Amino acid sequence: MSERKPIDSWLTDMDGVLIHEGVPIPGADAFVKKLRDSGKPFLVLTNNSIYTARDLHARLKRMGLDVPVENIWTSALATAEFLDDQRPGGTAYVIGEAGLTTALHDIGYVLTDHEPDYVVLGETRTYSFEAMTKAVRLIRGGARFIATNPDETGPSTEGPLPATGAVAALITKATGKQPYFAGKPNPLMMRTGLNAIGAHSESSAMIGDRMDTDVLAGLEAGMRTFLVLTGLTTPEEIERYPYRPSEVVDSIADLVDRV
């Protein structure tokens, strides 16, 4: 097997890697500073489509993590880029928050419930039964079904919350139509992110805390993968998967000197 190229660019998940329930993980500030000082291309990724990149920049800065807006890549942005490539200037009925609606407005999409080209499902803390019913009827009427990410649950201080993947399953059951998921583990999100920073997969690394999204997405995009143990995955769970990360480390602090 040919030797891997040195890592010239870094992609890292946000929740479980840099922050946990609104608190920075020790070493995250040093890692972000090292990335910025190095001048290497990097992206902070999240499957959460609720917030815009500007929102996330402000939230991270309040925690002491100074990540420029252009270095944040969300499943909403990946979804918008996919739709802009597939059907420029199209129309969509959207269930989601500002992160998703802003991304679609920015590519010139018209948001409507009148014969839309797509139904686009994203993350929200207030899923409406009325909105889901409308989505079901539009999809049964011919609209194409897109979802930002397949995560079935999301974190909160009170415990897990139903997320996009769980609501997508409900809509699928009522329509017989599976959505196209744009976010991780779809390598599309990784490739569009790499393109955004002018990086190449063979010299890039993906850091994440989940085997089923972060590691799988990095692996399928041809990147080196690092799994941190500060999020959802335990060492015992790694062995249950038919694939492995390139390396397992305790936390992001262990990767500061690798930049």
Q: What rounded mean pLDDT belongs to the chain? A: 94
Sign of CA dihedral 90, 95, 99, 102: positive
Is pLDDT at 192 greater than 60 in this prediction?
Answer: yes
Catalogue the active-site residues.
13, 15
Is pLDDT at 159 greater than 80 in this prediction?
Answer: no
pLDDT band at 25 (very low <50, low <70, confident <90, very high): very high
Both tokens of 194, joined, read 């790499």
Instruction: Report helix, strand or coil for 158.
Output: coil
CA distances from 5 to 44, 72, 222 (A): 22, 24, 12
Both tokens of 232, joined, read 């959802």
Main-chain phi, psi angles of 38, to 5 degrees: -75, -25
> pLDDT tens digit string along 103-135?
999 999 999 999 999 999 999 988 999 999 999
CA pair distance 91, 120, nearest whole angstrom: 10
Q: Given this model, what pLDDT does residue 255 score?
A: 98
Question: Which helix (H) or strand (E) segment is 220 a member of?
Answer: helix 216-220
Main-chain phi, psi angles of 225, to 5 degrees: -125, 140
Supply the pTM of this predicted model: 0.93
